[in-house]
């Protein structure tokens, strides 16, 4: 079975994330694990359990995926899931430098796991969780960028 992990903090999960998961799960991989990082170095708006729940709600119609939380080294977690690929999205050139560095380090830590990068669909190339949170905090309309449940959760956080 061709298995990939798609890691991130997903704070919150956006339609750009969903687009990448849909394309990866329908055209490339038999199974995709969306691995929600507990990352203590990032100050997240939503708790780990909230981020998992919102990702699950956003992806409920996709059958060959599973949303799961994790902490620790990604390559170790991927190996436990029998994944041979780390899937990452690249929106802009500045993403590439960081992702290339992470990919190289992951390869040094586990030579059996490859990194694959997908670019977003054109309509999501500008989209980031940070921008969505900023727009929501300022009372803007984020309905085009996130699942309705994510929108409601953001509105509740910022009220």
Q: Which residues are catalytic?
A: 17, 42, 91, 129
Residues pairing with 117 in the sheet: 88
Going by the DSSP 8-state scheme, the letter that residue 121 receives in this structure is P
User: Left if phi > 0, otherwise alpha if psi is -120 to 50, otherwise beta: which for 2?
Assistant: beta
Cα separation of 79 and 127, whole Å?
Answer: 30
Would you give the DSSP letter of residue 61?
Answer: T
């Amino acid at each position: 079975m061709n298995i990939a992990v798609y890691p991130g903090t997903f704070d919150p999960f956006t339609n750009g994330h969903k687009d990448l998961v849909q394309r990866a799960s329908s055209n490339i991989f038999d199974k995709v694990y969306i691995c929600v990082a507990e990352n203590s170095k990032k100050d997240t708006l939503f708790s780990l359990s909230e981020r998992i729940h919102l990702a699950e709600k956003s992806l409920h119609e996709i059958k060959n995926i599973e949303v799961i939380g994790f902490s620790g080294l990604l390559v170790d977690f991927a190996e436990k899931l029998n994944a041979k690929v780390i899937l990452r999205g690249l929106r802009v050139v500045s993403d590439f430098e960081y992702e290339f560095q992470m990919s190289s380090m992951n390869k040094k830590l586990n030579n059996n796991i490859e990194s694959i990068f997908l670019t977003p669909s054109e309509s999501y190339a500008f989209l980031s969780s940070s921008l969505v949170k900023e727009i929501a905090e300022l009372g803007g309309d984020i309905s085009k960028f996130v699942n309705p449940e994510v929108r409601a959760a953001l509105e509740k956080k910022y009220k």
